[in-house]
Copies of this chain bind each other. A is one copy, B any other.
Amino acid sequence: MRAEIIAVGTEILLGEITNTTTPFVARELADLGIDVYYQSVVGDNTARLEAAIKLADSRSDLIILTGGLGPTKDDLTKQTLAAHLNEKLVVDEPAMAYIEAFFARSQQPMTENNRLQAMLPANSIPLKNPVGMAVGALYQAPAHTYMLLPGPPSELEAMFTDSARPLLIKQFKQANVLDSRVLRFHGIGESALVTQLADLIDQQTNPTIAPYAKTNEVTLRLTAEATDQTTADQLLAELEAKVQARVGQYFYGYGEHNSLEQVVVTLLKKRGLTITAAESLTAGLFQSMLANVSGASDIFNGGFVTYSLAEKANLLQISPEYLHKYGVVSEETAIAMARQAKLLLKSDIGISFTGVAGPDKLEGQPAGTVYIGIAYRDQIPFARKFVFSRTRNFVRQQSALTGFDLLYHLLDADK
């Protein structure tokens, strides 16, 4: 079983975008025990794509084509594969209904090219696109299996996880049960995590361990193969216990589609606790992440963005003398911000962020210096200092995420 991944797109060939979908698919295939022997990139050019498919036919069994399913003239992956297979392009009705509904709702004109996104080679199995318009496809030829996936990483990853992976498991893994468990970690980098689990990773056979560095977090996917589900569960449980014994302090939740903010919102809802925030350097990022979790309105009514010293005084009713005395980048100010936000919104929890996003210093403190304050029910409010590095945006994101991390541990400890 030899697999090959062909990424289609002139913008990859020109180096204008970094190809992150091929590594994603490669890891997923490795996880399924499918060996990838070749990866290649071709531009939006029918003749060269056709040549790449022919070459792949000569050396691979499973051929995965990514990209070129968009609505513009230079998107021609589907057409080229259909011609290669001697199949017509046919409409996938659910995809067409989705696209038509999208344009009806948004009151934008729909073009012929948009219709093309709902088409796929005849006799394919459609792969649903949960976050975009282009439908994917799995096509079984006598000697080869072809798969069409969209180029944008969010679309490809969702389609692969939801539709392509189960089909590949069914097709290539029939004898045994294959089961996975995803563990999510925050506050530890990929290399540190991998170092702590080095011997487990080196010895892996069944279950396998696959670490993935995501934005600001790391996940581990444990995958077990067994003759039945009970044995697979047991294998996963045993390996997870070993992992948790070493890096459990960084663990916050399970699942492919999960996040630290989702876990925190769920905990708050379960406990019936409300939260508010006063944000300086993060300027609304924490509250925006909170509100991105569906149902956040049960636990969140609103809060403050207090970017300047004057608005920390005005909106939060903290005396300017206090702010000048301690400085805005200080433990004392972080505590006062959290306490006042909690008080003014009559919430169970107030959280605050103040610090130096950079690139310049503030109050003599270097870029990356951040204080996060928490006022929790009747407990004494506290603040913690962090020093983050890299870009302005990274400092702000790390700050907001670390706020969620502090809340998770606070709620987890106060059961």
Contact = CB atoms under 8 A, between A and B. Distances in A.
A277 B189 CA distance: 35
Contacts of A42: 37-38
A70 B190 contact: yes
Given A14-B27, A301-B311, 19 more contacts: A10-B210, A12-B23, A13-B36, A15-B28, A16-B23, A17-B23, A18-B19, A40-B40, A71-B190, A72-B211, A73-B202, A108-B192, A277-B305, A283-B288, A283-B296, A291-B307, A302-B304, A302-B307, A311-B345
A377 interface: no
Interface stretch (A99-107, A169-177, A407-415): A99-107
Interface in A75-109: 102, 105-109
A23 B18 contact: yes
Contacts of A108: 189, 192
B396 A288 contact: yes
A11 B366 CA distance: 37
Interface string A370-410: 00000000000000000111111100100000000000000
20 contacts: A14-B36, A15-B30, A16-B23, A16-B212, A19-B23, A38-B41, A70-B191, A71-B191, A72-B194, A106-B387, A109-B192, A283-B284, A283-B287, A283-B292, A285-B285, A291-B396, A301-B311, A302-B304, A302-B312, A303-B305
Contacts of A71: 189-191, 194
Given A40-B39, A41-B39, A72-B211, A311 B302 contact: yes
Give the most central of A14, A19, A277, A345: most B CB within 10 Å: A14
A348 B351 CA distance: 29
Contact of A16 (B27, B281, B283, B300): B27
A71 B189 CA distance: 10
Give the most central of A113, A306, A388: most B CB within 10 Å: A113
Interface string A265-304: 0000000000001010111111110111010110011111
B294 A315 contact: no
Interface of A: 10-20, 22-30, 36-43, 48, 55, 70-73, 102, 105-109, 111, 113-114, 131, 152, 189-192, 194-195, 198, 201-202, 210-213, 277, 279, 281-288, 290-292, 294, 296-297, 300-308, 310-312, 314-315, 345, 357-359, 366, 368, 387-393, 396
Contacts of A358: 294
